[in-house]
Each structure stands twice: as structure tokens, then as C-alpha cells.
Structure 1
Amino acid sequence: MNNDSTERIVVAMTAWIAAAPPGARVPSNRALTGEFGASPVTVQNAMRQLAGRGLVESRPGVGTFVRAARTNRAVDYGWQTAALGALPWRPGALSAAQRSVAPDTIALHSGYPARELLPERLVRAALARAARTDVAMTRSPAAGAPGLQAWFAAELAAVTPPGVTPATARDVIVIAGSQSGLSSIFRALVGPGQPMLIESPSYWGAILAAEQAGVTLVPVPTGPTGPDPDAVERAFQDTGARAFYAQPTFANPSGGQWPEETGLAVLESVRRHGAFLIEDDWAHDLAIDTEPRPLAALDGDGHVIYLRSLTKSVSPSLRVAAVIARGPARDRILADRSAESMYISGLLQAATLDVVTQPGWRTHLRGLRPRLRARRDRLVASLAEHAPTVHLGFVPAGGLNLWGRLPDGTDAAQVVRSCESRGLIIADGAEWFPAEPAGSFIRLNYSGEDADRFEEAARILGEVLADERA
């Protein structure tokens, strides 16, 4: 198919339709073929696009006609107020990280890497190969494709020290992104009205999932090197919580990483209280200056519920992750996931396994580090030059984001709005706090599409902050 020819016909016919009265007969495909000098297939594709846009309608045996404009009446949804009742959690508005924005803006708000940082060739080839196999037409097991289960287990077993029982494929539940896994874990292991410790700040999606599950969040302050283990111990003692959600490796939003001693101390506290550590390893493949150190590798007794996501490193479209859990906890999580979604697309699982078992996958990850480092350092330098009042505190050793504190007294929400009015989209840090924010913060993604505009972005942010102080 000639896409240029198809688009030329679509543009010309759209203009013709705009000038034609509703119900007017559209010239036949044969007439259009002669008029535009295009092939019949090209004309058919163009007409198919016009029908898809609702501009024309085909009447079999009669012809194709300009569709009459529909008259929309005002619809009153007020009845839903009584049916739905009061909100049991915060309104389900999109997070700043999920917003779609105009193409000419500078977008530093997203939680995803630019397309050029993904293994596109591997993904496309894997999808094509998977489509030619039986998985394209069959149902996959509830816990996931055995080959992908084995891969996730082997990844964790490879860093498990001697003396610790390694995870097996049976311990793995393949899920459609870590967000669905969080929801199931919170429902299955914590439950409505029960307390759960959570780092503050922490991933906004985990906060939302916990609220939707009715879980009572207990914030524990955290920083570049994680929480104070003594604070974690006190929180367990004071609340009787049986779970702690955390991101020890390249936390979202700050990019912080727990030192080994912090991880060991927290893990010991978890064991002492007979609790679970829900370890969200979302950025495992996004290391820059250090290596990821999953705490799950140090646990053979089922205290750590481990999430490993491939969404940010393989492709957001595949959206495959895994929960690794042991004992009855694993069975409860699987039961919840099965009730929620029954099973995950075998086609997507097969393509994901294809990607991560290709030699090119490791080559891609090795090349990703310097590219992320260059972007991170460029944004850090741009902020230092043009927006020096944004305090970073530290430069993250991995992940996708910078976490900046604004001058005391600054209205972060107003800064975000003012930046947007000037064409810069950033994220208000308030979303990442399970309670009141500890200050005014913003999150900036250095892995997005706009690396060439970091200096411009920092200049806009600096000007907005200067205006706020004036």
C-alpha cells in the first residue's frame, strides 16, 4: 500500500465531503481510481479511513454517501450521584505522569523512557515470531507461561547467595504490569482497614492501589539512602502492621538506593515482626552507576514479596512483570489475580521472553547505561546553570527521574501551572506523598523525548521560580 497516495486521497475527499450536503453520493471507487490515478486497493484503503472517521457511510448494493451530522442532546448524569455514593478513595484523576500533552511542549513529567531508549528492533521481531506460533490462538496458564516464569526465577536466583534457598519457577506469577500486582498483594496480604508501612515519598501508583484496597497507610520518612531502620522498627511496634511496601533500588520518585546495611536491618525487622516486605524492583534494568541489589535474594523464608517489572525497559506496550512469592502468600495473590484477569496474554508473554533471551538484550542494557547517564547529567547541569534554586540533594545512581526540592514557601502546584503556560510540563511532587508533603517538590524525567531541550526547560523553570520570589 502506498501510504502517501492514500493520505492524498483522504485529504482531498475530506475537503470534498466538507462542502457536500449530508446524504450526497460519493463518487464510486472506480471513478476515484481514475481521478486520482491510484490503484483500486489504495482507493479502498482511503475510503475505509473516511468511514472510520465517521465521514461517510456505505450502503451495500446502493453506494457510499456523506454521513449526516448527528445532533447531540445534552445528557444528564446526575442520577449516578445517588447510585455511586460517596467516594471511598481519592478521585480517580490521571496522575501528572500519565498526562498526554501537546506535541510542541517540553515534557519532563512522564514516567516512561523515550522510544529511542527501548529495544525496538528486538520487540518488533519478537512480536512477529510470537504471532506465528500457537500462543497467538491459545490460553496461557493462570500463573504465566512456564518459560517466562523460569526466566524471572533464574534472574533472582543468579544473585542469591549460598545458603539461601533460591526462587523457583513455581514461585513466579506473571502479571500485566506491576500496578496490577500491587493491587492483588494489598488485597490478598493486607486487607481493608489494616495498616501497611510505606516510604514517604513513595510511588503514587502504590498509594492509589492501597487506598482502593482500603489499606491504612503508615508513612515512614525516607531519603537518598532509604528509611531509618529504627523508624521502621518503631512503626511496626506502634501499628502492628504486617507489611511494608518499599522500593530499595532507585526509588520512584527520588532515585535513592538503600545501602546494604539498611536493607539487612529492615529485613531483620520484618522477620522479627512476622511481616512481609513488598519489594518493588521497578527499575532493575535502569541502573547507571551502581548495580541493583534485590533484598528478595537474601530471603528464603517467604518474607519478601518481590515485584520485577519489564515495562520501562522492554516496552510499555508489552507491559509484563512478575510477582515472586512463596508459600500460602503466593497462592492468595494468584487467586486474586485469577479473579481479576484470569490470565495474561500468551502472545505478549512469548514476545517478552523472546526479547530478554536474545543476545541483543544484554547488549541493549549495556548501551542503555551511558545514554541514561548522559541525559541525567545534562539535566543536572542545566538545572545548576538556569534553575539553581532547585535543590536536588543528590544525583540518583539509576532510574529515570530527578527529585528536586523548591525553595521553602514555594507553591509547587502554582509553579507547575506557570511552567505549563510557558510550554514546560513537570510533575508536582505532592502526588508521591501518602500524607502531607514534607516540602515543595517536583519530579523531572530525564529519559523522555526532549533531551535536546533540557537547557530550555531549565531556563523556563528558573524564570518561573524567579517570578514566584519577586
Structure 2
Amino acid sequence: MEERSSASELVSSLRSELNRYSPGGKLPSSRALVQRFGVSPVTVSRAVAQLAAEGLVVTRPGAGAFRAEPRSAVPAPGDTSWQEVSLSGDGGPEVVPRTVDASGVLVTLAAPPSGVIECNGGYLHPSLQPERAMAAALARAGRRPGAWGRPPTDGLDELRAWFAREIGGTVTASDVLITAGGQSALATALRALSPPGAPVLVESPTYPGMLAAARAAGLRPVPVPVDADGVRPDLLEAAFRATGSRVFVCQPLFQNPTGAVLAPERRGQIVRIARDAGAFVVEDDFARRLVHADAGPLPVPLVAHDQDGVVVHVCSLTKVTSPSLRVGALAARGPVLERLRAIQVVDSFFVPRPLQEAALELVGSPAWGRHLRAVAAELAGRRTATTAAVRHHLPELALPLVPSGGGTLWLRLPGPGAGEPALVSAALRAGVAVAPGRPYHCAEPPAGHIRLSFAAVSGPAELAEAVRRLRTACDELFGPPPGPDGSLRA
């Protein structure tokens, strides 16, 4: 993290000095920059690469870095207004909207402004990512025989077998397809299981990226409420009867955003209800490797003992490693597996082999187990600290469930949901970014919520500062909370 900051500072310094050099002029050597700025050669390399990516310098192997020639004038933008007519001109008797709303996804992908604490992120902070282990795995992977060749379209056999063992039960390597992360797998499953215009049952609230993928496929998400024990079987059964849907998407383990775990007595019911309806269950097992150290034994995935092919399982390495290690898996049985395979081949051919090889190197190394244990301990500590801080400093924000996995808290606002956008905006002004709750609902939400990430920040000190800033935002909207004796706190 410190090296990244040094690289950013060096980029700023070099950018401000570029006018000293004429176009084509040579910049100081890497050795000179190391000595002058007191940074490492890696930092210099990163800074020069950033300037090259911006088109400000040109690097020549063996010669050095040179100021780039001035860019030619940017041509006037063309007239693309015709696309509005073309993209909305869906003909046919059953019109399915094709607009794609990615706003709920971008909230957790976009970096906040400088100085703003990122409590809206969906990934581990870089300090929690196994950067050294991944770099070593990638280096070893690049030297594997055939590492840069074409992989099997279903994925490397060894990696498919590893995912099958991780899923457990009766799942075998032949049931598994390697995917480019969990989001890609979800999109493939939704397209495979429902035709455009069909209803798809989803948990409420649920992951905005899945809702966006469903709508992009022309599907109509229908909410089924969850409680502290996961989705309610009685409401799921009623939703199948009312809609005729043939797909239900759920996150049985550490549900996003509530953190709920599907209760043991409900697990078999969910699969049975779907089977009776002639429907599939898409099981998004995104957070299994984000379990907290004090969580206790985890339930096996729904797909592990599903012999009838009701469950289509989605999992990924991305959440517990890095946003850029986009390697995941789909597991399914029966004819649906061939449809999933066909869609994936048409969309992307295959997942790049070097990335699959690197994933194999990573999960097969001693560093993998150490990383999982470190993340489990760190997340448990952060959850405990954040929960205590929220309950003490933000008593007006209700916390219905303290999760035992994942990296976020789901907080309910006082009063109607209309105050949610105001609180998100006030928090940003106070210097902390939080995720609004509205994108997690596919229909009118019952109340206002925010999702607060404790996994995306640097550590306890930044978490404490984030809660302090959120308190400032709440004071702006709701006023100070009452003290223990009922009087207003100073």
C-alpha cells in the first residue's frame, strides 16, 4: 500500500516536470529517479508505466523514457443520436426492455474521491489481499508447460477437480465449468434458464449485480422477502404459484446484503419447493471463503447433495483474493450443463489459461491456507469493532443481524426510505462513502437502508474514523442522538 502511494506521488512530480523536456526529450534514468526521490526501482517502474498509459511518455526498451509528441487535435464528436431510436426500437409482439442499469453495481466498483473513506466497496482492502502470494503464483504459472496455449473450453481439468472437491458432496469435475468470475457465471446461468420476458424469483433484498444481469437478459425480477434465517419458504412457494417462474436465485450463506444464513430446516424445503414447481435454484455461494474465525462449522452448499439437478451452483475465488483474479465456477447436472457450456463458449470462448494456471498455483501453495485463516481472523475482529461502534455512536441506525461471514453490515434507517439518498449524500460530504440500500431491492423497499463495508478499509483506525464521519452525517439529518439519560448528547 505504501509503495502504491509512493508511485502516485512520483507520477504527480514527474507530470509537473514534463514541460522541462522538449517532445522526444529523454527523461532521467530509472537509477537517477531512484536516487533523487528515494524510492524503489519498482515504484519508478510503476510511475513511468502510468505516464506511458496516459500518453505523456514513450518508453523504449534499452533506451529509457522520452516525452511523448503532442497529440493531434481531437476530432469533433460524431452524431450518435440515431442510436436512441435503434436501441429502443424493439419490435415483435412481446417487447422486452433492453436498457441496462449498472448504477447499483458501479456504486461498489467506483473508487471514491480522494480523502473519502471507502465503506461502499465490495472487495477486500489491498492490505487483506494476498498480493505476494498471487504475484508468486502468476510467475510460477507463466513457466508451466503450455501455460500460454489454448485451454479446454470447460476449463483446466485440475482446476475443475479442485472446485468440485471444495463444493463437496457428490459433485465431480465433470459437473464443473470454469468461468470468468462469479458475475459472469450468474449472467450465464440466468440466460440459460429463462427466456426473455420471463419472471425470475430473487431474494429481497439481494445483490444488485444479479438484478442488473437479470434485467439485461430481459428477465423480470420478482422479490421474495428474507428474514434472519434466509428466504421464507412459504413466500417462495406462493411466488412460484403466482408467477409460474422457473428460476429462483439465492445466496444461502452470508446473504448479500443482510448477512443471513439459510436455516438448516429451510434448506431442504427450498430445493423441494423448486423441484415441485419444475424450477431451478441458482445458488450464489460468493462468500464461503469470507467466513469469520468465530463462525463455527459451515453448512455444505445446496448443490452438494442435489442428485436431481435442481441447483445450479456459482462460486468464485475473486472475493477472497483480488478483484482482478476473476476465476470462478458453475456446477450443474443434466442437460442444463450443456446449455451453460454453449452460452459460455459463445460469449467468451474460455477463461485465459495463464489466469487458470495462476489460480491453481495459488490454491495449491502453503500461502493459501495462511491467507484464508488471516482473512477469517481479520474480518471477525473488524466486524466486532464496527458493530460495537455503530451501536454506540449510531444508535438510530438499526442492525437487525450481526453476520458471521462477509464484510458488510446492513443498517436500517429511522423513518421512511425517503431519507436514504439524503444520508448517503451527507455521508459523502462528511468524507465517508456508503452504499445506498435502494439498488438491493427490485421493488419498493420497506424501509431505508445503507450497507457499510468493514472489509474495504485499511484497518481499525480507519473504521473508527468512518463511523465518526457517519455520525456527523446523521447529526446533519437527524440531529444528535439522546444520551443515556434521555438528554441530547453534546
Both structures adopt the same fold (TM-score exceeding 0.5) = yes
The SS at the match of 1:403 is strand
User: Aligned AA for 1:264?
Assistant: G
What do residues 21-75 of structure 1 show as CA deviations (whole Å, max 9, x unaligned)? Answer: xxx565568xx67x96999xx9x9898876654346799xxxx776335434542
Alpha-carbon shift at residue 189 of structure 1 (Å):
1.1
Please state if 1:291 is matched with 2:297.
yes
Please state if 1:156 is matched with 2:142.
no
For 1:426, the equivalent position in structure 2 comes to 434
Tell me the distance in 2 between the aligned counterparts of 1:381 and 1:18: 52
The SS at the match of 2:354 is helix
In the superposition, relative to structure 1, how do residues 365 and 421 fare at CA in structure 2: closer, same or farther (>3 Å)? same
Q: How many residues align?
A: 448
Please state if 1:440 is matched with 2:448.
yes
- State the TM-score, normalizing by the size of structure 1: 0.87
Tell me the distance in 1 between the aligned counterparts of 2:389 and 2:287: 24
- Asked if the contact 1:106–1:450 (Cα under 8 Å) also holds between the matched residues in 2, the reply is no
User: Aligned AA for 1:95?
Assistant: L
For 2:482, the equivalent position in structure 1 comes to none
Question: Residue 344 of structure 2: which of 334, 337, 350 is its match?
Answer: 337
The SS at the match of 1:285 is helix
Question: Residue 157 of structure 2: which of 125, 146, 158 is its match?
Answer: 146
Alpha-carbon shift at residue 79 of structure 1 (Å):
3.5
For 1:374, the equivalent position in structure 2 comes to 381
Please state if 1:225 is matched with 2:263.
no
Question: Residue 70 of structure 2: which of 51, 68, 71 is its match?
Answer: 68
- Asked if the contact 2:396–2:414 (Cα under 8 Å) also holds between the matched residues in 1, the reply is yes
- Asked if the contact 2:282–2:313 (Cα under 8 Å) also holds between the matched residues in 1, the reply is yes
Tell me the distance in 2 between the aligned counterparts of 1:376 and 1:322: 28
Matches for 1:97-136 after TM superposition, within 5 Å: 97-136=108-147
Tell me the distance in 2 between the aligned counterparts of 1:406 and 1:418: 14
For 1:163, the equivalent position in structure 2 comes to none
What do residues 155-183 of structure 1 show as CA deviations (whole Å, max 9, x unaligned)? Answer: 222xx2xxxxx111111000001111111
For 2:253, the equivalent position in structure 1 comes to 249
User: Aligned AA for 1:67?
Assistant: E
Unmatched 5+ residue regions in structure 2? 36-40, 61-65, 90-96, 480-490
The SS at the match of 1:382 is helix
Unmatched 5+ residue regions in structure 1? 161-165
In the superposition, relative to structure 1, how do residues 375 and 7 fare at CA in structure 2: closer, same or farther (>3 Å)? closer
Matches for 1:247-286 after TM superposition, within 5 Å: 247-286=251-290
- Asked if the contact 2:430–2:472 (Cα under 8 Å) also holds between the matched residues in 1, the reply is no
For 2:484, the equivalent position in structure 1 comes to none
Alpha-carbon shift at residue 13 of structure 1 (Å):
7.1
Tell me the distance in 2 between the aligned counterparts of 1:369 and 1:377: 12
- State the TM-score, normalizing by the size of structure 2: 0.84
For 1:54, the equivalent position in structure 2 comes to 55
Alpha-carbon shift at residue 327 of structure 1 (Å):
0.9
- Asked if the contact 2:24–2:67 (Cα under 8 Å) also holds between the matched residues in 1, the reply is yes
CA RMSD of aligned residues (A): 3.1
For 2:406, the equivalent position in structure 1 comes to 399
Tell me the distance in 1 between the aligned counterparts of 2:256 and 2:365: 29
For 1:187, the equivalent position in structure 2 comes to 191
Worse-superposed segment, 130-139 or 305-314? 130-139
- Asked if the contact 1:202–1:252 (Cα under 8 Å) also holds between the matched residues in 2, the reply is yes
What do residues 208-263 of structure 1 show as CA deviations (whole Å, max 9, x unaligned)? Answer: 01001111211101122112111111111122211110000001111110111011
The SS at the match of 1:426 is strand
User: Aligned AA for 2:55?
Assistant: G
What do residues 424-460 of structure 1 show as CA deviations (whole Å, max 9, x unaligned)? Answer: 1000011111111121000011111243222222222
- Asked if the contact 1:107–1:424 (Cα under 8 Å) also holds between the matched residues in 2, the reply is yes
The SS at the match of 2:225 is strand
Question: Residue 239 of structure 2: which of 224, 235, 242 is its match?
Answer: 235
- Asked if the contact 2:55–2:68 (Cα under 8 Å) also holds between the matched residues in 1, the reply is no
Alpha-carbon shift at residue 199 of structure 1 (Å):
0.4
Please state if 1:89 is matched with 2:109.
no
Worse-superposed segment, 66-75 or 101-110? 66-75
Tell me the distance in 2 between the aligned counterparts of 1:446 and 1:397: 13
Please state if 1:352 is matched with 2:359.
yes
Worse-superposed segment, 312-321 or 85-94? 85-94
The SS at the match of 2:290 is coil
The SS at the match of 1:173 is strand
Tell me the distance in 1 between the aligned counterparts of 2:391 and 2:48: 54
For 1:18, the equivalent position in structure 2 comes to 19
For 1:309, the equivalent position in structure 2 comes to 316
Tell me the distance in 2 between the aligned counterparts of 1:459 and 1:7: 28
In the superposition, relative to structure 1, how do residues 47 and 105 fare at CA in structure 2: closer, same or farther (>3 Å)? closer
Bigger Cα Rg: 1
